[in-house]
Amino acid sequence: MPAVIRKILKTTKHFEIVQVRTTRKDKLVDHLPDEQGVFRHEWLSDFKKEVVITFQFLNIEQKEYIFKLPIVEKVQRLKFLKDISGKCFKA
């Protein structure tokens, strides 16, 4: 997910509709590979003048704090975080 969208999501309230307009390609393609395919580099890098992204914040699922998890789930979570950070530093 692009950094600009992540920043907006942090302040968005439930059911609020948000529209992002930009002419800066570099602000939309500065993210890790998106496994869900929502933000594809080829779509975002092909635009000519302006991109408009409209979204509505419907729900959020927050994971439990790591210190509250059983040890097996802690290990799985730490491996997941290690993989994500590895991708981040390789990019």
DSSP letter at 68 equals G
How many domains does the structure of the chain reveal?
2
**22-68 per-position pLDDT tens digit:** 787 777 666 656 666 666 777 766 777 887 888 887 877 766 677 77
Q: Based on the domain organization, do 5 and 34 belong to the same domain?
A: yes
Q: What pTM, to 2 d.p., does this model score?
A: 0.48
Expressed as residue numbers, the domain containing 12 is: 1-60
Question: What are the two backbone dihedrals, phi and then psi, of residue 74, each rounded to the nearest 5 degrees?
Answer: -60, -45
The answer on 67 and 44 residing in a single domain is no
Residue type, 64: E
Same domain, 49 and 21: yes
Give the pLDDT of residue 8.
79
Residue type, 3: A
70 and 51 co-located in one domain: no
Contact 10, 48 (CB under 8 A): no
